[in-house]
Amino acid sequence: MNAQGQDWDDLRLFLAVARTGSLSGAARVLGVTHSTVFRRIGAFETRLGVRLFDRLPGGYALTAAGEEMRDSVTRIEEEIAALALKVAGQDQRPGGTIRVTTTDLLAVGLLPRHIAAFRGKWPRIEVEVIVADTMLDLTRREADVALRIGNPGQEALVGRRVGRLAFAVYAAASLHARGLDDPGASDWIGYGSAHGPLSRSLTHWWPGMRQVYRTNSITAAHAAARVGIGLAALPCTIADCDHELVRAATFPEDFMLDLWLLTHEDLRNTVRIRLFLDFMAEALAADADLLEGRCPDCRGRAAGM
């Protein structure tokens, strides 16, 4: 196989099918149509003269030849990703694009005003925010920087804790006005099995809570709380400054989640990355009262205050 562009594209497509086990899965990953993947995989196998996949009712399974190719191509991909990181790490221009991955909660409720301030200071640096529930792989350059709740401890990543996120129980002002004497006997907006530490703590503190509405998105829970569906455990940094909500109760025990700002070790000295990391760390440190539920402009609306 030579190193011409079409061959590299075929290798990337082959890996996508191998990893997802289906044509539709590979099409979603690559942003192409199902028929494109079908046609190109068939042409690739014909050109190589070997069958790489068994077509099964449940999807595409690698043959022995396919498994050997997957292992070899994965090593090539890792070498290319490592080379790209090292080259990017030498970029000393205060310009270019930074790809930031985070959750919908932080992308909507926390980042926008800080990114606006960062762009005001460094207008030649563009910022792309990728909202993802799953953790994108920084070692594969799926993103340059991650703002995450909790430190994944992934090898080759460097970072710092940039804040602590406090939670409390919130209700729509109209719902709170009708009286909520016992949160444990009220209707709740729950997270089901999502957001493990928070969900487990809630069911431990209020085992009889009625989860009449469930979502895996804190942003969706915030929207549901605003219209009075039930109580919701929400981050104080968002809910305390929402005039449609009232802090109905505090948690029986201290509960906070750490915010981490992460990048790959090969990128930390790239000028635009370092500028962004330093700026965001300072901005979030200045937000400590808001993040930890001590916002002086908002807390007076909490129940009983």
C-alpha–C-alpha distance, residues 301 and 280, integer Å: 29
Is 145 strand, coil or helix? Answer: strand
Instruction: Report pLDDT for 154.
Output: 59
Q: Is the pLDDT score of 294 beyond 70?
A: yes
pLDDT at 304 over 70: no
pLDDT band with cut points at 50, 70 and 90 for residue 2? very low
The tokens of 42 are what?
């068939």
pLDDT value at residue 133: 63
How far apart, in whole angstroms, are the C-alpha atoms of residue 26 and residue 15? Answer: 8
Q: pLDDT tens digits, residue range 10-37? A: 888 999 999 999 999 888 888 889 899 9
What domains are there in the chain, each with its CATH number? Answer: 5-88 (1.10.10.10), 94-305 (3.40.190.290)
Do the beta carbons of residue 266 and residue 85 sit within 8 Å? yes
Q: Taking residues 274-288, what's their average pLDDT?
A: 92
Residue 112: what pLDDT?
93
Query: How confident is the model over 84-127, as pLDDT tens digits?
Result: 666 655 555 677 889 998 888 889 888 999 999 999 999 999 99
- Number of Cβ within 10 Å of residue 87's Cβ equals 10
Cα end-to-end distance, the chain, whole Å: 72
Distance in angstroms (rounded) separating the CA atoms of residues 252 and 237: 19
Q: What are the tens digits of pLDDT across the range 122-148? A: 999 999 998 876 555 555 667 789 888
- Would you state the pLDDT for residue 267? 79
Q: What is the pLDDT of residues 140-178, one digit of tens each?
A: 667 789 888 876 655 567 788 899 999 999 999 877 656
What value does the mean pLDDT take over residues 212-220? Answer: 91
